[in-house]
Amino acid sequence: MAADCRGFEVDPWQLRWCGLDVDALRRTESIFALSNGHLGLRGTLEEGEPVGEPGTYLNGFYEKRQLPYAEVGYGYPQQGQTVVNVTDGKIIRLLVGDEPMDMRYGHAREHERVLDFRSGTLRRSTVWTSPTGQSVRIRSERLVSFTERALAAIRYEVEPLDEDLDLVIQSDLLANEPVVARQGDPRFAAALDRPLVADFAAARDFHAVLAHHTRQSGLRMAAGMDHELAVNATPRCSVHTEDDLARLTIAVDVARGDTVCVTKYFAYGWSSQRSTPALRAQVEAALAAGLETGWDDLLARQRAYLDDFWASADIEIDGDPEMQQAVRFALFHVLQAGARGETRAIPAKGLTGPGYDGHSFWDTETFVLPVLTHTVPAAAGDALRWRHSTLELARQRARELGQSGAMFPWRSINGEEGSGYWPTGTAAVHVNADIADATIRYLAATGDEQFERDCGVELLVETARLWAVLGHRDSAGNFRIDGVTGPDEYSALADNNIYTNLMAQKNLRGAVAACERQPEVAQRLGVTESEIGRWRDCAAKVAIPYNDELEVHEQSENFTHYMRWNFADTPAERYPLLLHYPYFDLNRKQVVKQADLTLAMYLCPDEFTPEQKLRNFDYYEALTVRDSSLSACAQAIMAAEVGHLSLAFDYFVESALTDLHDLHHNVATGLHIASLAGTWSCCVAGFGGMRECNGEVRFAPRLPENLDRLAFRILWRGSRISVDITRDAATYSLLSGDPFTFRHHGQPHTLSDTPLELGIPDLPNVSKPEPPAGRAPYRRE
Amino acid sequence: MAADCRGFEVDPWQLRWCGLDVDALRRTESIFALSNGHLGLRGTLEEGEPVGEPGTYLNGFYEKRQLPYAEVGYGYPQQGQTVVNVTDGKIIRLLVGDEPMDMRYGHAREHERVLDFRSGTLRRSTVWTSPTGQSVRIRSERLVSFTERALAAIRYEVEPLDEDLDLVIQSDLLANEPVVARQGDPRFAAALDRPLVADFAAARDFHAVLAHHTRQSGLRMAAGMDHELAVNATPRCSVHTEDDLARLTIAVDVARGDTVCVTKYFAYGWSSQRSTPALRAQVEAALAAGLETGWDDLLARQRAYLDDFWASADIEIDGDPEMQQAVRFALFHVLQAGARGETRAIPAKGLTGPGYDGHSFWDTETFVLPVLTHTVPAAAGDALRWRHSTLELARQRARELGQSGAMFPWRSINGEEGSGYWPTGTAAVHVNADIADATIRYLAATGDEQFERDCGVELLVETARLWAVLGHRDSAGNFRIDGVTGPDEYSALADNNIYTNLMAQKNLRGAVAACERQPEVAQRLGVTESEIGRWRDCAAKVAIPYNDELEVHEQSENFTHYMRWNFADTPAERYPLLLHYPYFDLNRKQVVKQADLTLAMYLCPDEFTPEQKLRNFDYYEALTVRDSSLSACAQAIMAAEVGHLSLAFDYFVESALTDLHDLHHNVATGLHIASLAGTWSCCVAGFGGMRECNGEVRFAPRLPENLDRLAFRILWRGSRISVDITRDAATYSLLSGDPFTFRHHGQPHTLSDTPLELGIPDLPNVSKPEPPAGRAPYRRE
């Protein structure tokens, strides 16, 4: 029964974990988390303990906390936001005889858990013998409904194996669960002590509701549960509530071979506006609807939703079953993070854990939205509508910092800046261009004119306005953007960071184009001709630092003149560097936390020649330590483009296994949604070579030796396209919708009913670059 | 009696304040503070209230406090230090009839306070009528002894004016006085609530002792008092103690025209090592010695000490009596800050207030030590011995941050880094070169070989070792120092800051020279030939950024390409900028908080041509907002050198009146010792043109139109030299000691018994540059 350090079995459509390793609980709770983007449940055991981090989250529901500073400074955010572990509805405790079922005691003869990517459920099967020798089989299955966003459900079944047994089942709603405080790592959430204040509790029959609010942020919530019970015996049932607890107790004698089966429906509502009675009514209505739908239909709807998703989004891989599984795991969790957020943010950890305080970053726009835009475009639109809904806060922030337009927060739940260290927070202004880029991509891929008029133009205009005042034309006429932080947080506060400058350029040009397409909206936003002219001029002249001697671009001005980090003398255990070396030293040396210029070459492909891309990639490859999970996917994509296909595959593997193998040692606090999304990008933009430029889609497919076949699907303006890549050719098929125009390795084609099989040109012969000493890509055993 | 906004009367040898303005109490308490560098008393009224900030400080006596961070980072200091307001011995309360003497009640018919620069005492004379109509004259005089460093004394005399009066005098030792918390300005000290824990209290007769320790830092202290009483009546006296209070009560009936006179002696001792009984014994011994010496002899010794000081240090100014007074005020407080520190730091505020938490900065070495080196060289040596005593902490800090050699703290009381914001703290590594520069200056000016062997070589070697690893040779062979903060804190984390690079160069060369002079010490420190060779190479090739188009040096690389700050649209009330604009915006624009390149041109005069100095000065003058009190003096010095004599005079006035006219609105928390010291530099280095280079002293005297005569004195290797400047000539006289070799406007001369009168060449004709809009130098009314 002892699990190895990973314990996952390879299977194309599910993730199975056999054995119980209490030390791994926190990690598996994240991996087995269920979410629909609105409600998230960590993959805890039903019996509540042992537990790593209990974790029930409602998107957008947060508590405020003071941000302390040793030395205060103007414009520092005074309050941060932290995701709250809300009332836990997933607890179903079991007493066998008078022994609480607890995997730490007695003996578990069998135990497995399965996350099923097609059913959208988490199943568990356990055979457990109590310390006094009584054995039961427990089967459970749970879901967070993609179709009923407020609703989750658990079916829980117990079977006495060797003798008739007295069983007690306690189904709880539990608020203010104890949470272990963690310290010492800035990436972990600040623990909140009993964040919920009780407002209301009521119960009758199998039904209970608890309502609470948060102390500082004043958000209100309600949680409710209802149950169905199936057993061949007469149970004694009772329900009661306290401030922080509602409990249905079922005591029943079950005969050997018989079962008791409880189906628990639980629902949540929250609001900053609505009253407690209104929220109570909302969850009771959701429960009524859930009961009316019933367990089987909930399962069927979940399956149908996922069938539809996979029909648009699936990636098939031949030649590496583990990668096949990992890619579907990734897609499943990206869907879970974004499916039903509905004008709420998509946090960096989704709703899988409290990491990063539950905040959203540029990860969403740059890594997650490309996937959603081409697979679940409505979800991408919703995420951008959330950004749009925070525009007024972003405008206020720009004014507070002496700028114009909108300055979106580096990290936030509610749209307010929550970064407590401005050099790698507020100064990372590229987040504004990243939002613009996601807007441009979404508009190009969907043609959603309603969104453009309602949100898109305004997002582009207000971010463009920021760049126009943030940068300036120097005496040589170059448009400089000084003192900002690009993606590489080990090079904070740099001048003319190429990523930032090129993305600002795209932002400015996108704003010009949007205003030209929607002149009425532009007029409403007060855009003048001279303003458009300035955006055009700024974009035309962005400074792009280049080192003539080395013939490479500079990530930012002077960068290539800095001292190189001493990789040879940096032991493996001192990574990530930020936990073992001061920013003071990291910032002043050539060491790259994560793809920066490399990411710019992917997102702005026409701004570099192929020769520059190759030289740049190789130069920065030797400096990039990948201390961020956002790095490997970008390196995979560009490695594939410049011809390092084997290295691209290595980074694809690293990206795909980042969470499954816990490569960053922090899956315990939640999955890395952007890295999971990046795994899709490794396939589609890496081996598929997909690029989007000026509304044009290009592919340049090419398989690494390790794979025999890679097939993916994308949505483009309502058309569903399949790209099926083998060693020698790629076959493009139009699965539904209008004809599709694209490029294949540079040549234009139009795809309609007949699939196109197009040959793949030979790989250029290039020698493989070396990552920094000791930082080779992750190797599977 | 109403005082104007300043209330100081002009007098060459004293500072007199007439009238009582309760709102100005905090400010006058700083200005009237007495200190000997070991013990400091703010200039509070004897009766304890009204009071702004009570303030009794012992140099080096601090409490620790946690430094909080919104986002933690490697290498951030976890604990800071804060100066503690120790047991207050300066309180003498008076009851007239049954009315407490309190200037807020009744009526003060006369009130004046005088700080006497020659007697070294603070005198007060008050005629006060109580609310019930009883009038008294109060005269007091207090001193903090320059000769008995643990001792202070107050003579307090009360005279009934119109009738016989029942008087009660209460003389207190009071620990844990209430202190008002201040917030919102990073420059203000963190208030500490009741920092002292009582250990011991005892009293008998006129004598009492209290002993305490601090909670976190565990430092122990004792305070004691004893009294002499003179009155033509029989007083009822009693003494008693509590944990935090010792009180001598004297009740006496005094006849009209008679007086009661109390002389209070109070003494302090503190230690991290010695026990409470030992500290008690120490203060009782100091009190016994004080009583034995007696008030009159204490006064006489104080006078003698100051006579000696003024004989070496006085500056005479004809033509501007207010500046004459201000310069002596400045010198007096610089002496008070540094006289008897004795291997303790000289804090930025001296011992005049809790500002900056009582920390020392580079201010000491760069601004204060030049004055002390040439006037009280033993005090300069002591301050450098303090730095040397913290070398092991500085080595540990260097290792913690991945560097070699020693990395001295940006701000500290005990030698540990106490900066809670590294970009304008730890990154300001120039403090290391500033310490080296002060060491080089001290050695050159004193020839103190004992100090050189004990401390000097090691200070120079360990700081040179830092630069050797902090910088690196780039592909063009230049020695770059990237990502550091120079004096201008509005341009944090810059590359090749010229000030830092040139001072590092001086540091490296100074280490080479010291090792050559003291090969045995160098060997003991493990210095190798190759290490010396590397220092020589690095120094020879330091990068000096220059803008060929503008023909000015760049304060740091790229600086002249940044956007200029929009001075025109910055209203006066938004200065200092750091309180109204984010560092994010300040750092990325051309705006200079305080002289940076300008200071480099002063301290490294041979690294710039006269033409470069003029162009650079004018360019940076237009960008320098002087949000730091350290700026005006450096600007005055360089303005004088490049020929802007009228502007130099303006900045001299601003520097001299910074504290007297509270130009930075924070004198309440203490004087700006460095700015006061800089006022000396305005005279000596500015109008006197004194520079020290490679052991050579140069003068280039030239008076501004506003002055008729300026005479100053300096010590150089034991010789006392007077420089007496009039419009057309300067007269150099050797007051004592060996002949003195120097340059006058470039020409070498040797001064022995006969004074030399040397002509002053004509002023080059240059047009006056403009400071930023709205930031003209301070103008007297």
List of chain A residues whose C-beta atoms are within 8 Å of the C-beta of residue B472: 563
CA of B330 vs chain A CAs: smallest distance (Å): 29
Q: In whole angstroms, what is the distance from residue B34 CA to residue B140 CA? A: 14
Identify the H or E element spanning A759.
strand A756-759
Q: In whole angstroms, what is the distance from residue B329 CA to residue B317 CA? A: 13
3-state secondary structure of A241: strand
Does A303 share its domain with A318? no
Is B421 in contact with A71 (Cβ distance < 8 A)? yes
Residue B716 half-sphere exposure, CB side, CA atoms within 13 Å? Answer: 21
3-state secondary structure of A310: helix
Q: Are B626 and B594 in contact (CB under 8 A)?
A: yes
CA of B722 vs chain A CAs: smallest distance (Å): 45
CA-nearest of B480, B470, B455, B464 to B533 is B464
Q: In whole angstroms, what is the distance from residue A182 CA to residue B341 CA? A: 44
CA-nearest of B358, B348, B441 to B628 is B348
Q: Using the 8-state DSSP alphabet, how is residue B395 labeled?
A: H
Is B186 in contact with A71 (Cβ distance < 8 A)? yes
Neighbouring C-beta atoms of residue A731, cutoff 10 Å? 15
In a domain, B275, yes or no: yes
Does B272 share its domain with B333? no
Per residue in A79-131, pLDDT (tens digit) is: 999 999 999 999 999 999 989 999 999 999 999 999 999 999 999 999 999 99
Of A420, A471, A562, the CB nearest to B70: A420
List of chain A residues whose C-beta atoms are within 8 Å of the C-beta of residue B426: 582, 584
Which residues, in sequence order, are CB contacts of B246 under 8 Å at separation 6+? B172, B173, B201, B203, B208, B209, B210, B225, B239, B240
Give the chain B residue nearest A423 (alpha carbons). B584
Strand order from edge to edge, sheet including A56-58:
A34-35, A39-41, A56-58
Q: In whole angstroms, what is the distance from residue B170 CA to residue B262 CA? A: 10
Is B582 in contact with A402 (Cβ distance < 8 A)? yes
List of chain B residues whose C-beta atoms are within 8 Å of the C-beta of residue A484: 588
3-state secondary structure of B247: strand
In a domain, A326, yes or no: yes
* CA distance to B146, B341, B416, B677, per residue, from B354 (Å): 22, 17, 18, 19
In the chain, the amino acid numbered A615 is: R
pLDDT (0 to 100) of residue A181: 57
In this model, does residue A59 exceed pLDDT 50?
yes
Q: In whole angstroms, what is the distance from residue A533 CA to residue A524 CA? A: 18
Per residue in A258-280, pLDDT (tens digit) is: 999 999 999 999 999 999 999 99
List of chain A residues whose C-beta atoms are within 8 Å of the C-beta of residue B427: 584
CA of B388 vs chain A CAs: smallest distance (Å): 24
Give the chain A residue nearest B586 (alpha carbons). A483
Supply the mean pLDDT for chain A.
95
Does A347 share its domain with A403? yes
Q: Give this prediction's pTM.
A: 0.95
Q: In whole angstroms, what is the distance from residue B357 CA to residue B410 CA? A: 13
How distant is the alpha carbon of residue B47 from its chain centre?
Answer: 28
Neighbouring C-beta atoms of residue B566, cutoff 10 Å? 11
In this model, does residue A674 exceed pLDDT 60?
yes
| E-state strands within B451-532 | 472-473, 479-480
Q: In whole angstroms, what is the distance from residue A700 CA to residue A613 CA? A: 15
CA of A226 vs chain B CAs: smallest distance (Å): 41
pLDDT (0 to 100) of residue A132: 94
In a domain, A775, yes or no: no
Domain final residue pick, B312, B336, B362: B312
Does A348 share its domain with A265? no
Is A423 in contact with B427 (Cβ distance < 8 A)? no
pLDDT (0 to 100) of residue A180: 67
* Beta bridge pairs of residue A479: A473, A542
Is A70 in contact with B68 (Cβ distance < 8 A)? yes
Is B73 in contact with A421 (Cβ distance < 8 A)? yes
Does B330 share its domain with B294? no
CA-nearest of A41, A61, A36 to A51 is A41
Is B74 in contact with A561 (Cβ distance < 8 A)? no
In a domain, A676, yes or no: yes
In a domain, B571, yes or no: yes
Q: Find the angle CA(A728)-CA(A734)-CA(A740) to the nearest 5 degrees.
A: 95
- Give per-residue burial for B501-537: e unless 16+ CB within 10 Å, then b: bbbbbbbbbbbbbbbeebeebbeebebeeebbebbee
Does A117 share its domain with A64? yes
pLDDT (0 to 100) of residue B341: 82
Q: Tokens for A170?
A: 């306690």
Mutation test of the interface with chain A: which of B361, B472, B570, B584, choosing the one with the most A Cβ atoms within 10 A? B584
List of chain B residues whose C-beta atoms are within 8 Å of the C-beta of residue A430: none
Does A509 share its domain with A641? yes
CA of A586 vs chain B CAs: smallest distance (Å): 9
Is A74 in contact with B426 (Cβ distance < 8 A)? no
Is A69 in contact with B69 (Cβ distance < 8 A)? yes
Q: Are A637 and A644 in contact (CB under 8 A)?
A: no
pLDDT (0 to 100) of residue B40: 98
CA-nearest of B562, B580, B489, B569 to A400 is B580
Domain final residue pick, A280, A308, A336: A308
How distant is the alpha carbon of residue B597 from its chain centre?
Answer: 23
Q: In whole angstroms, what is the distance from residue B55 CA to residue B41 CA? A: 6
Strand order from edge to edge, sheet including B39-41:
B34-35, B39-41, B56-58
CA of B491 vs chain A CAs: smallest distance (Å): 10
pLDDT (0 to 100) of residue A1: 29
Q: Which domain covers residue B146, as residue numbers?
A: 8-312
In the chain, the amino acid numbered B65 is: R
CA of A362 vs chain B CAs: smallest distance (Å): 18
| E-state strands within A187-275 | 196-204, 207-214, 220-231, 236-241, 245-254, 260-271
Q: Find the angle CA(B701)-CA(B705)-CA(B710) to the nearest 5 degrees.
A: 45
Is B73 in contact with A472 (Cβ distance < 8 A)? no
Domain count, chain A: 2
Is A557 in contact with B562 (Cβ distance < 8 A)? no
List of chain B residues whose C-beta atoms are within 8 Å of the C-beta of residue A73: 186, 421, 578, 582-583
List of chain B residues whose C-beta atoms are within 8 Å of the C-beta of residue A67: 70
Residue A26 half-sphere exposure, CB side, CA atoms within 13 Å? Answer: 16
Choice among A3-12, A540-549, B332-341, B501-510 with the minimum mean pLDDT: A3-12
Q: In whole angstroms, what is the distance from residue B488 CA to residue B424 CA? A: 9
Q: Are A508 and A479 in contact (CB under 8 A)?
A: no
- Give per-residue burial for B21-46: e unless 16+ CB within 10 Å, then b: beebbbbbbbbbbbbbbbbbbbbbbb
List of chain A residues whose C-beta atoms are within 8 Å of the C-beta of residue B73: 186, 421, 578, 582-583
In a domain, A781, yes or no: no
CATH code of residue A397: 1.50.10.10
Does A340 share its domain with A264? no
Q: Are B435 and B408 in contact (CB under 8 A)?
A: yes
Which residues, in sequence order, are CB contacts of A389 under 8 Å at separation 6+? A343, A415
Phi, psi of A22 (to 5 degrees): -60, -35
Of A402, A582, A588, the CB nearest to B585: A402
- Is B489 one of the annotated active-site residues of the chain? yes
Is B484 in contact with A73 (Cβ distance < 8 A)? no
Of B73, B425, B582, the CB nearest to A186: B73
Q: In whole angstroms, what is the distance from residue B175 CA to residue B262 CA? A: 21
Q: Tokens for A406?
A: 């909108």
Is B401 in contact with A557 (Cβ distance < 8 A)? no
Q: Are A189 and A116 in contact (CB under 8 A)?
A: no
pLDDT above 70: percentage of residues in chain A: 97
How many cross-chain Cβ pairs, A to B, lie less than 8 Å apart? Answer: 159
The residue behind tokens 């509540």 is A48
**The complex's ipTM?**
0.94
Does A515 share its domain with A380? yes
Q: What is the mean pLDDT of residues A384-388?
A: 98
Is B80 in contact with A70 (Cβ distance < 8 A)? yes
Sign of CA dihedral A566, A567, A572, A577: positive
Q: Which of B416, B489, B621, B692 is catalytic?
A: B489
pLDDT (0 to 100) of residue B679: 98
In the chain, the amino acid numbered A400 is: E
CA-nearest of A667, A745, A708 to A27 is A667
Of A422, A425, A561, the CB nearest to B480: A561
Q: Which of A489, A531, A554, A621 is catalytic?
A: A489
Does B431 share its domain with B377? yes
CATH code of residue A38: 2.70.98.40
Angle between helices A498-517 and A430-446 (to 10 degrees): 40
Of B400, B401, B558, the CB nearest to A495: B558
* Run means of pLDDT, 10 residues per run, chain B, 781 residues: 58 90 85 98 95 95 94 94 97 96 92 96 96 96 97 98 97 91 48 87 97 96 98 96 98 96 98 96 97 98 98 97 98 96 93 96 98 97 98 98 98 97 97 98 98 98 98 96 98 98 98 98 98 98 98 98 97 96 98 98 98 98 97 98 97 97 94 98 98 94 97 97 97 97 98 97 90 92 71
In a domain, A739, yes or no: no
Does B282 share its domain with B369? no
Of B68, B422, B495, the CB nearest to A69: B68
Does A18 share its domain with A108? yes
DSSP H helices in B566-644: 583-587, 597-603, 610-621, 631-642
Q: In whole angstroms, what is the distance from residue B565 CA to residue B573 CA? A: 16
Neighbouring C-beta atoms of residue B604, cutoff 10 Å? 19
Domain final residue pick, B715, B730, B745: B730
DSSP B690-732: -EEETTEEEE-----TT-SEEEEEEEETTEEEEEEEESSEEEE
**What is the 3 state secondary structure string of A363-397?**
HHHHHHHHHHHHHCHHHHHHHHHHHHHCHHHHHHH
